[in-house]
Amino acid sequence: MFEEGQYFAPVKAKDDGSLTVQLGEGHPGLHDPKYRARRDLLATQADRWTPGQPAPLVDYTAEEHEVWRVVSADLRDKHRVYACQEFLDGKEALGLPVDRVPQLEELSDRIEPMTGFRYRPAAGLVPLREFYGALDENAFWATQYVRHHSVPLYTPEPDVLHEVVGHGNTLADPRFTALYAAAGGAAKRVESAEALEFVSKVFWFTLEFGVVHEADGLKAYGAGILSSPGEIEEFRGMTIRPLDIVAMGTQDYDITHYQEVLFAARSFDQIGDVVGEFWDSCDDDSIAALKKGAVTLSSTSSS
């Protein structure tokens, strides 16, 4: 079983302003100087981007295109079985290439007429307020690097395959982008770090790792599952709980492993009714009240 997560390697600025990506122990590219130089270059390019400019063009190598081809082929059949209908609709509308890594800029030009969203290039981890603030402006921060070629079906970090195959197909469908925009609005509205964390956890358990019941079984709509060749085959065996804002907003998770607890909506409409409605209306006070209620409930039930 692959261990796959959404861990971002930290980046560090050198004296000349260029960035170094600090890959962690166990990263498949850690001992590959060519790969590390590549990651540093792409991070530096993204870091130099300024709003209003096109996302930097990446001169992807034959090796990187091959990784894209292998993962796209692997996920093609799995999406048919495990992806929810709304994702499949977005995928058909976007028509991603399967034999080459597409550029963020060309994707933005295709997605914008459909939903108004565009990509912004990210050097690495984008701070929460910045990431969600962009969603409120119909923009999505995305990394551009490709996972290490030695293990194409595994990545310890969200690479361009996650950002584009996982999120891009959803950015092409207005039913999804209404949710992204609502999450962005909520994150802009709340002021405390605790409330922002709550909003972010709800995002994690929905747009990253959400699942939904359909007539022929449990399907995934979260980008984290839909971009992972391993996790997509495992999610039905996890602990599946009903959609619940308080439970999602207070549930701890480990980013370095498959998600063991998932929250299932009864239908895609229910995600909008429950999660979209929460994001549209929440503020610091309402979230503090929800958290207090959760603590009271758990102390009552455990006593």
Chain residues in the site for Fe ion (CB under 5 A):
223
Tell me how far, at minimum, the Cβ of 224 lies from Fe ion, in Å.
Answer: 6
In degrees rounded to 5, what are phi and psi of residue 111?
Answer: -75, -40
Output 72 or 228, the one with its CB closest to Fe ion. Answer: 228
- Alpha-carbon distance 262 to 278, whole Å? 18
- Alpha-carbon distance 81 to 229, whole Å? 12
Question: For residue 17, is it left (φ>0), alpha (ψ between -120 and 50) or beta?
Answer: left
Name the active-site residue from 162, 163, 200, 228: 162
Output 127 or 217, the one with its CB closest to Fe ion. Answer: 127
Active site residue 208: yes
Output 261 or 290, the one with its CB closest to Fe ion. Answer: 261
Tell me how far, at minimum, the Cβ of 213 lies from Fe ion, in Å.
Answer: 23
Active site residue 299: no
Name the active-site residue from 167, 200, 228, 231: 167
> Closest Cα to residue 228, out of 254, 189, 257?
257
Active site residue 162: yes
- Alpha-carbon distance 59 to 147, whole Å? 15
Q: How far is CA 136 from CA 122, 188, 259, in A?
A: 17, 8, 27
Output 165 or 212, the one with its CB closest to Fe ion. Answer: 165
Strands 118-121 and 139-142: parallel
Tokens of 159: 């690479």
Tokens of 252: 């701890």
Active site residue 200: no
- Nearest position to Fe ion, beta carbon: 223
Q: Please spell the DSSP secondary structure of 40-76, one letter per residue.
A: HHHHHHHHT--TTSPPPP----HHHHHHHHHHHHHHH
Tell me how far, at minimum, the Cβ of 227 lies from Fe ion, in Å.
Answer: 8
Output 40 or 163, the one with its CB closest to Fe ion. Answer: 163
Catalytic residues: 162, 167, 208, 227
